[in-house]
Structure 1
Amino acid sequence: MSLPIVIIGSGFAAYQLVKTLRRQDTQQAITVITASCGDDYAKPDLSHVFTKGQSANDLIKMSADEFAKTYDITLLRRSRVESIDARQKTLRCNGESIAYQQLILATGAKALVPPFQGDAMGRIITLNGLEDYAASEVELKKAQSVLVIGAGLIGTEIAMDLASADKRVILTDRAEALLPSLLPDFVSAQLYQSLGNQGVSIELGTQVESLRQAEESIAISLENGHDYRVDAVVCAVGLRPNIRLAAEAGLKTNRGIVVDRQLRTSDPHIFALGDCAEIDGNVLAFLQPILMSANALAKTLLGQASNVALPPMMVKVKTPRLPMQLSGNTANADANWQVSASREGMTAKAFDEEQQLIGFVVTGSHMKQGFSLLRELPPTF
């Protein structure tokens, strides 16, 4: 009997790879090792759990046991891989040695939490996965006021969702604009106004100085001198790829685990996929590139070497008060923007010096134009 394909991780990337492998081969042995509960869920749903009143259990699409049975895999839950011996093609888990034919690192990324002054650091909540939410859902449900640290994509989505659930929200970021890595200033300003109309207090160009316990509440001091008192704090300042196992195994790492176009690491029998993988200097954490990467990797693992080729991809910003989609280079300060707007929405096209379309943002009713514009963009790689 052949050795198994072993996958470390049970997030979207890992489980998408399992599903794709099983569509192509029903016999290949597959082992999944995860430190989590292993339940299958959709991580983007965490951005609107508050308005929908959903619990962590409501988000589960398939329990770990159901998933293992459906896809005929060996699933080791609540298990941590201690080390990888690339030379012997084995790993240590739960004190035992497990041999692999090919190993896939789908170890994901960890939520960043900057250090702050004060005695309330232990009260900071992150929402980087199902178990994060399960651990904090009671506190967040009870909270009447919430500070959200980080005005990027996830922080802004969560802030709007919390405000839509009738909570008082303060959103803060060191950046001077909302979603600065994704949106041009004039679209960011519209999002700012939309959040403001919901009653969100937006503190940009500053950062949290201290978090201090104040009875049941948390006293917040910002560097600009403003003070708040809230019931809960959510941190969404970014993610750091989990590369420790790879680095300790001697694999090449940078910001993420460095892989080639076939998602192969510096070891020919080890691959990386998802939030932990770095391709051409990029960590592509959105769902569509992970989906396409899983499709290509499944072919490679089953003997048909396939490069990952990514066309332009749509990013959906889940802010219902100002729904939008975007693609391409939308944060290029040198872009020439052409804007068509109506009361129902806007189409903004970014052009380079040669008047080639390099990106776009569509909002409201104009979002139906998004897919035709997508076809006009040059390939990602």
Structure 2
Amino acid sequence: MSHPIIIIGSGLAAYNLAREFRKSDQTTPLTIIAEDSADFYSKPMLSNALAGKKTPASLVIKAASKMAEELSAAILPYTEVVGIDSNHQQVLLIDGQALVYRDLILALGADQIYLPLGGNAGDDVISVNSLQDYAEFAAKLPELKTVGILGAGLIGCEFANDLLALGIKPLVFDPAGWPLSRLLPEAAGRYLAAQLTTAGAEFHFGFSAKNYDHMEGRYLLGLNDGSIIEVGMLLSAAGLQPRTHLAASAGLKVNRGIVVDQTLQTSQPHIYALGDCAEVMGLNLPFVMPIMHCARALAATLAGTPTPVKYPAMPVVVKTPACPTIVAPPAIGAQGEWQVSEIEGGIDARFVDAKGQLLGFALLGAASKEKQALTGQLPPVLS
């Protein structure tokens, strides 16, 4: 029997790759290693689970045992990988075992970024980046009236909208001037903020958090202007940091993420990466659609047909029902300008170049119905 393909990770990238691979190859041994329970759930759904009254148990789509059966795979839950020996094609486990691989796939995901805060309550800052995190987060909410959120990016806005379903007021802090500032032009961002504010959210733009203290049963957040605001809890939504430590310690090339070529191979043969941890041809896109395209391409490569991944235009649907928002940001460094139109019940923003070619868009509210028509006009993200 040949050595197995080993996948480190058990998120959307790992399990979708395994499923796609099994469509073409039912016999090559497959091993999946996870630090957690390895139960299959959709991490992107954590940021809108409250409105759906989802418990941690109900978010689990399939238990690890069921996934092992369906994939004809050996799944090792609660198992820590401490090293990779690329010369001998081995994965090194914390218990001293060395597992030999035919090919190794890193689907390690990303960690929430924690901003450095002064004060005595830094360890009480919450992030929701796993099912266990969600369980701890949800358990604290019933007694709260407010939740502070650090960051008005995609995750921060989604959690803000979700908290409103429980009657909890989100207080969102961001040094930028409007939400989703890296994805939306100012007019569109301010429209989104206005809609979420009408729904019950409270935004504090142009401010950064400096201190977080617990005093006499109260949590106090100190801002850079010297003001202090009481919050029931503080949630960090300041962005994601790809998990690159394991790859770097094995001598693989890393930048923002684990650097891979268009076939998703790292700087070492027989080692690949995909998902939130990977930087594909300079692109680190922590969204569902890039993961799906990578899973299909890499599965074909592992099954014997080398296949470069290609990204079509992939608009991102922001989970903010109070203001439906769809974003297809222009490529970094793209030359052009935003053309913003206010329509009844929404904002239609289009990023065009000097020749009038559509390079990106942001559709809010009633304008979101234009998604399909505009997506067909966009150039591919990676061809």
How far off is 1:279 after superposition?
1.5
Q: How many residues align?
A: 381
Aligned residue number for residue 75 of structure 1 = 75
| Structure 2 partner of 1:129 | 130
Query: Quick check: 1:312–1:328 contact (8 Å CA) kept in 2?
Result: no
Name the residue aligned to 1:8: 8
Cα RMSD for the two superposed structures: 1.6
What's the offset of the Cα at 1:164? 3.1
* Cα distance in 2, alignment partners of residues 345 and 175 from structure 1: 22
Q: Which residue number in structure 1 is paired with residue 215 of structure 2?
A: 214
Residue 371 of structure 2 corresponds to 370
What SS does the corresponding residue of 1:353 show, helix, strand or coil?
A: coil
Q: Percent identity?
A: 38
The alpha-carbon distance between structure 1 residues 193 and 331, as it changes in their structure 2 partners (threshold 3 A), is farther
Tell whether the 8 Å contact from 1:335 to 1:352 is kept in structure 2 after alignment.
yes
User: What amino acid maps onto 1:167 in structure 2?
Assistant: I
Q: Using the alignment, how far apart are the partners of 2:60 and 2:327 within structure 1?
A: 28
Contact 1:181 1:331 in 2 (8 A): no
Task: Could you tell me which runs of 5 or more consecutive residues in structure 2 were left unpaired when the two chains were aligned.
Answer: none
In the TM superposition, residue 310 of structure 1 has moved relative to its aligned partner by: 0.6
Q: Contact 1:184–1:331 at 8 Å: present in 2 too? A: no
The letter for the 2-side match of 1:156 is C
Which residue type is aligned with residue 47 of structure 2? S
1:265 corresponding residue in structure 2: 266
How far apart are residue 141 of structure 1 and its match? Answer: 3.4
- Provide the secondary structure at the position in 2 that maps to 1:50: coil
* Structure 2 SS opposite 1:220: strand
| Partners of 1:339 and 1:208 in 2: CA distance | 32
Mapped to 2, the partners of 1:136 and 1:363 lie a distance apart of 29
SS of 2:128 mapped into structure 1: coil
* Contact 2:340–2:347, Cα closer than 8 Å, also in 1: yes
| Mapped partners of 1:102, 1:246: distance in 2 | 14
Given the two structures, how large is their TM-score scaled by the length of structure 2?
Answer: 0.96
In 2, Cα distance between the equivalents of 1:169 and 1:330?
Answer: 31
In structure 2, the partner of 1:62 is: 62
Deviations 1:235-280 (A, max 9, x none): 0101111111111111111111110000000111100111111112
Q: Are the aligned partners of 2:351 and 2:358 in contact in 1 as well (CA < 8 Å)?
A: yes
Deviation at 1:198, TM superposition (A): 2.4
Q: Is the 8 A contact 1:216 1:231 kept in 2?
A: no
Counterpart code for 2:225: N
2:117 match: secondary structure: coil
Distance 2:77 2:3 in 1: 20
Q: 1:58 to 1:246 in 2, by over 3 A?
A: same
Give the secondary-structure state (helix, strand or coil) at the position aligned to 1:147.
strand
List aligned pairs for 1:113-192, cutoff 5 A: 113-192=114-193
Aligned pairs (5 A) from 1:291-330: 291-329=292-330
Whole-Å Cα distance in 1 between the matches of residues 28 and 372 of structure 2? Answer: 37
Cα distance between partner residues in 1 of 2:361 and 2:254 = 33
Structure 2 residue aligned with 1:250: 251
Provide the residue aligned with 2:113 in structure 1.
Answer: 112
What SS does the aligned partner of 1:37 have? Answer: coil
Q: CA deviation at 1:217?
A: 2.7
Deviations 1:78-110 (A, max 9, x none): 000011100000111132110000000111111
Question: Are residues 331 and 258 of structure 1, via their aligned partners in 2, closer, same or farther at CA, if it must alter by over 3 Å?
Answer: closer
Tell me the CA shift for residue 342 of structure 1.
3.2
Amino acid in structure 1 at the alignment position of 2:244: I
Corresponding residue SS for 1:125: coil
Q: 1:258·1:265 contact (CA, 8 Å) conserved in 2?
A: yes
Tell me by how many angstroms 1:330 deviates.
8.3
Deviations 1:148-168 (Å, cap 9, x if unpaired)?
Answer: 001110001111211232112
CA distance in 1, matches of 2:173, 2:121: 17
Q: Distance in 1 between matches of 2:3 and 2:225?
A: 59
Q: 1:338: how far off?
A: 3.7
User: Which amino acid in the other structure matches residue 353 of structure 2?
Assistant: D
Shift of 1:142: 2.9
Q: Is the 8 A contact 1:328 1:377 kept in 2?
A: no
Q: Whole-Å Cα distance in 2 between the matches of residues 203 and 333 of structure 1?
A: 30
Tell whether the 8 Å contact from 1:217 to 1:232 is kept in structure 2 after alignment: no
Tell me how far 1:334 sits from its aligned partner.
Answer: 6.5
Deviations 1:333-381 (A, max 9, x none): 9743444543233432221112111111222333232112111111111
